Each structure stands twice: as structure tokens, then as C-alpha cells.
Amino acid sequence: EVQLVESGGVVVQPGGSLRLSCAASGFTFDDYTMHWVRQAPGKGLEWVSLISWDGGSTYYADSVKGRFTISRDNSKNSLYLQMNSLRTEDTALYYCAKGSSVVPAAPIDYWGQGTLVTVSS
Amino acid sequence: DIVMTQTPLSLSVTPGQPASISCKSSQSLLHSDGKTYLYWYLQKPGQSPQLLIYEVSNRFSGVPDRFSGSGSGTDFTLKISRVEAEDVGVYYCMQSIQLPYSFGQGTKLEIK
């Protein structure tokens, strides 16, 4: 059974930093592209970032480019999102999500339960 | 960036009746590899999204056959042949032909 468990969400002040983690199990982690997707309270889904199976390629939404960094540790079956220069508009539930293949464009087929990041003074 | 536009934004359906959601993209989602990178997700109340349909019309594992997808190019439709109570939630279309990937605004399905 695929499991994705996010952690690290807290309340942080504007301008602050945070690192989210995602522990993956139930599949061969380094065979798949991984994503972060977020959902602001009461709003829709926003794709944030993806990382290739080997970590060699990363992509970001314009809204987070230059502030967020996605990474992975295949030896630990873990995905990360380093979030710097946080803004109030970054407040959201952050989902770790698994791509369905090594191909970046393949659909997201499993999602974690999310971790809540609140940016507020 | 590709903009995904869903209509309607909400619909209320009697159990057993059909439902249809439209998704239009600002650019064609047909790739040179022959695939169309359009997906449908359902987010049930209080839950994470779940994949329903991939590449326009393929049902994901375990998805009931009352769900079907169709369309091409820039115009796509998700149909539920007979709505059941468990189908309530918000439906999203998503494209992954071009970065940044993008979702539609979501369509909220309620039961009458």
C-alpha cells in the first residue's frame, strides 16, 4: 500500500523559513517523479514543484521560484521542500504526491494527507 | 502558462441522474507523442484528492465505470452516468503537458 506522510508544517512569521518532509513507503521510491501540491484554506489545488526520480531535474511554479527548493533522499525514501522568505499567501495545506512513473508528465496517482503551513505574524 | 477553465463551478444532482463537467484548456493538451495530458481528480470532503481519469479517458484503478472522460485538444468532459451519494466533493481537471502544471478551479458536486 502506497503511503505518503508529510510533516513539518507549523505557524511561521512572514519572511521565515520552514522545511517540509514526506516519508514514502509501499513502492520503489526512486522509480517515480515526486511532487508538492498546495491548497490554501477553502481554495483549489495549486501545483508547486516536481523532482525527477534521481533528483537531477526540478521545476517550480512561478509563485515559489527562487524561494522554495525541492529535494529528495532516495536512500531514506524521503521528499523535502525547503521554504524560504515565506509570505502570507504561502499559507496552505501542502500535499506530497507521487507521480505514476519516471516520466515527469505522468499523472499524480497518490497523495498524502497534507501538512498545514500557516504564515502569520 | 496554460489556464484550465471548468464549468460549472457547482452542480446539484439527484441520485441516479447523470452529471457532466466541462474543462477547457487555453492550449492544446495533445503532445507530439500522441498522448493528451489531461487528468481528472475528485477531492471528497475532508480528504486528499484522488485520481479518477488519466489521459482524457482512462479510468484509474478501482474507479467505478459510471465515471467516463472524453474530449480532445482543448475541450474535455467528465461524465457520471448515475450519480451516487459517495460522489460528492470537488472535481478538478489538471494538465501536465507544459510546466507549470495547472488545475482547473474545481467543480463542487452536491446531492439534491
Q: Given this model, what pLDDT does residue A104 score?
A: 86
pLDDT at A62: 96
**Three-class SS state of B62:** coil
pLDDT computed for residue A32 by the predictor:
96
Minimum distance, in Å, between the CA of residue B40 and any CA atom of chain A: 10
pLDDT mean over B38-42: 98
Best mutation target, B47, B96, B97, B108, to test chain A (most A CBs within 10 A): B96
**pLDDT, averaged across chain B:** 97
pLDDT score for A39 = 98
Chain-chain contact of B51 with A107 (C-beta, under 8 angstroms) = yes
Summarize pLDDT for A65-98 with one digit per residue, the tens: 999 999 999 999 999 999 999 999 999 999 999 9
B19 within 8 A of B83, measured Cβ to Cβ: yes
| Separation in Å, CA of B89 to nearest CA in chain A | 12
Contact between chains at B41 and A47 (C-beta distance less than 8 A) = no
Long-range CB contacts for residues B101-104, cutoff 8 Å, separation at least 24: B101/A47, B101/A50, B102/A47, B102/B1, B102/B2, B102/B3, B102/B4, B103/A44, B103/A45, B103/A46, B103/A47, B103/B4, B103/B41, B104/A44, B104/B4, B104/B5, B104/B6, B104/B23
* pLDDT, tens only, B16-34: 999 999 999 999 999 999 9
pLDDT reported for residue B10: 97
CB spacing of B37 vs A105 below 8 angstroms: yes
> pLDDT (tens digit, 9 = 90+) per residue, A6-63?
999 999 999 999 999 999 999 999 999 999 999 999 999 999 999 999 999 999 999 9
Residues of B in contact with A114 (CB under 8 A): 48
**Cα distance between residue B26 and residue B30, in whole Å:** 12
- Per-residue pLDDT for A105 more than 90? no
| Residue B40 pLDDT class (50, 70, 90 cuts) | very high
> Bigger pLDDT: B26 or A102?
B26
